[in-house]
Amino acid sequence: MLARQSIFKQTPKLLKPRNLATPPCIFRNTKQFTTTAINMGGDQPEIITAYKELTSIKAQTQELPGKDVDMDPLAEFTKLEDWDDDGKPYLREYVGSGKLKGKKAIVTGGDSGIGRSAAQLFAREGADVTIVYLPEEEEDAQNAKKAIEADGQQCLALALDLMKADQAEAIVKKHIEKFGKLDILVNNASKQIMCTDIAEIELANVESTFRSNILGMFALTKSAVPHLKRGSAIINTSSVTAFKGSPGMMDYSSTKGAIVTFTRSLAGQLAPKGIRVNAVCPGPVFTPLQPASRPAENMEGWTVGGTPLHGRASMPAEMGPSYGVSISMPGQSLSLTAV
């Protein structure tokens, strides 16, 4: 198999990029930090990509939970980077082939970011989708709903908060009332808040992060499993920080580690029922959660030159196919896996 042309034209060497949040970092204060990472380029690497905007991300910040409509640049959800015969990158639209025809899915955080990409790609494969989001994200949710419906599928948009105990049951109930069955559950919604000093961390924020990222996942899964039949699938969104840690987001990375363990445990429990359970563990992805969880100056040039494969953050569109593969694999062979 021929190796793909490197995206960098220069010889690999060590580089100190700015504002890299996901790999291990040495923080100077809450607004500035430095990091050393292996980079495939030189001091001024040329990043070859069709996602040109990601090579020069502007300073920007938002209030939690963050909104796609306020991102600069706007995210891509269905356009994937590909390479022509001359090794030049271009964007192509994801085209489905009916792999999920007739399936019904719930995607939390489906209004924006990775969740929206997964939801739209499910629709292009023939699935009807329920997206779950916070009331503050209504504009993003309506945009996602319109995009799914434009691909010929139905979309139920539910503004419900999984941090509230009774909301999980309501989500499943409304989904079943609309679609009659449940085949796919994507536990994707999460939050993160940066804090670089454990002596200054607010325990209320730690509790809120665990309630959002872990307890909400437990609650929704508990309500959903009785409706899942043999051949159904659950996908949980974890993170590379589950394995690498994150000095600036200890509570967040702790929840992501817990999600991997939850996934493995649940996969073992549900395997006899023929229900697959997997986790997707993204690296840095350009989603509203990023500017909503750090100062504006830390977003300027975010991750540029600091990721070995791309030299940039990923677009949500690059994550969506991982969810589709985890669901559409024939048979029951893919389970207990962190992608």
Q: What is the pTM of this model?
A: 0.84
Q: Would the pLDDT of 190 be above 80?
A: yes
Q: Please, which pLDDT band fits residue 36 given cuts at 50, 70 and 90?
A: very low
Instruction: Return d(Cα 309, Cα 251) in angstroms, integer.
Output: 27
Show the DSSP H helices in the chain as ranges: 113-124, 138-150, 167-179, 203-210, 216-224, 241-244, 250-270, 320-328
Q: Please, which pLDDT band fits residue 16 given cuts at 50, 70 and 90?
A: very low
Q: Would the pLDDT of 125 be above 70?
A: yes
Q: Would the pLDDT of 43 be above 70?
A: no
Q: Would the pLDDT of 154 be above 80?
A: yes
Q: What is the pLDDT of residue 337?
A: 60
Span of 75-79, 239-243, 303-307 with lowest mean pLDDT: 303-307
Mean pLDDT of 308-313: 81
Residue 9 or residue 84, greater confidence: 84
Instruction: Return d(Cα 160, Cα 207) in angstroms, integer.
Output: 19
Cis peptide leading into 73, omega within 30 of 0? yes
pLDDT, averaged across the chain:
85
pLDDT digits (tens, 9 = 90+) for 137-151: 999 999 999 999 999
pLDDT digits (tens, 9 = 90+) for 102-117: 999 999 999 999 999 9
CB atoms within 10 A of CB 160: 18
At the fourth CATH level, the homologous superfamily of domain 91-293+313-328 is: NAD(P)-binding Rossmann-like Domain (3.40.50.720)
Q: Would the pLDDT of 24 be above 70?
A: no
**Which burial class, exposed, middle or buried, applies to 63 when counting CB atoms under 10 A from its CB (0-12, 13-18, 19+)?**
exposed
CB atoms within 10 A of CB 159: 14
Q: Please, which pLDDT band fits residue 311 given cuts at 50, 70 and 90?
A: confident
Clarify whether 252 is annotated catalytic.
Answer: yes
Q: What is the pLDDT of residue 335?
A: 58
Q: What is the pLDDT of residue 42?
A: 45
Q: Please, which pLDDT band fits residue 1 given cuts at 50, 70 and 90?
A: very low
Q: Which of 51, 90, 94, 252 is catalytic?
A: 252
Q: What is the pLDDT of residue 305?
A: 78
Mean pLDDT of 247-255: 92
pLDDT digits (tens, 9 = 90+) for 192-232: 988 889 999 999 999 999 999 999 999 999 999 999 999 99
Task: State what percent of residues in the chain have pLDDT above 70.
Answer: 83
Q: Would the pLDDT of 306 be above 90?
A: no
Q: Please, which pLDDT band fits residue 308 given cuts at 50, 70 and 90?
A: low
Q: What is the pLDDT of residue 330?
A: 55
Q: At what angle do helices 216-224 and 250-270 cross, to 10 degrees?
A: 20
Residue type at position 159: A
Task: State what percent of residues in the chain have pLDDT above 90.
Answer: 71
Q: What is the pLDDT of residue 7?
A: 35
Residue 64 or residue 17, greater confidence: 64
Q: Which of these, 158, 96, 99, 104, lies nearest to 128 by C-alpha position?
A: 104
